[in-house]
Every structure is written in structure tokens, then in C-alpha cells.
Amino acid sequence: GEEVAEYQGAYKITQGLLQEFGPRRVVDTPITEHGFAGVGVGAAMAGLKPIVEFMTFNFAMQAIDQIINSAAKTLYMSGGQ
């Protein structure tokens, strides 16, 4: 999510995460909900188990297209491939 690594989150929710898990697992993403939701969807499709953190719920609604269309429908749209 935004500023979760170096800055440790806007509300310091992710404090210590970077030190514990390292930069390969804790990633600062672009400042666009649509963008980092897409990064999470892509990581999940690659077999990873991403956790995407939105600053507040109303910002999560900016990424609803990635969540509903990309995450939920791609498997079926691709014939399970």
C-alpha cells in the first residue's frame, strides 16, 4: 500500500513490518488505489498471498473495478488458464 514500508503507514499501522519481513515482501506502491489493488491482484494470480492496505474504506471504492472485475472474473474469462 501507500507509504507502508519506509514511512510505516499513515497511521503507523505497518510499523516494524519492513524491518521484520524486508523489502521483497513489504512494498511501497504507487499513490493510486486502482494501481496497488492491481498489483495485489497480479501477485495473487502469480501464487503469492498479498495483503493490500487501503488508508480508509472510502478509498478502497476507487479500486472496486480491480477487485470485482480483475480479481473475481479473470479465471473464468480465461477458461481457467
Q: Of the candidates 65, 70, 55, which has an alpha carbon nearest to the alpha carbon of residue 11?
A: 55
Question: How would you class 48 by CB atoms within 10 Å of its CB: exposed for 0-12, middle for 13-18, buried for 19 or more?
Answer: exposed
What is the mean predicted confidence (pLDDT) over 64-75?
Answer: 86
Query: According to the model, what pLDDT value does residue 1 have?
Result: 65
- What pTM does this model have? 0.73
Neighbours of 44 (CB within 10 A): 14
Residue type, 16: G
pLDDT digits (tens, 9 = 90+) for 11-60: 787 888 889 998 888 888 878 888 889 989 999 989 999 988 888 888 88
Residue 10 has pLDDT above 80, yes or no: no
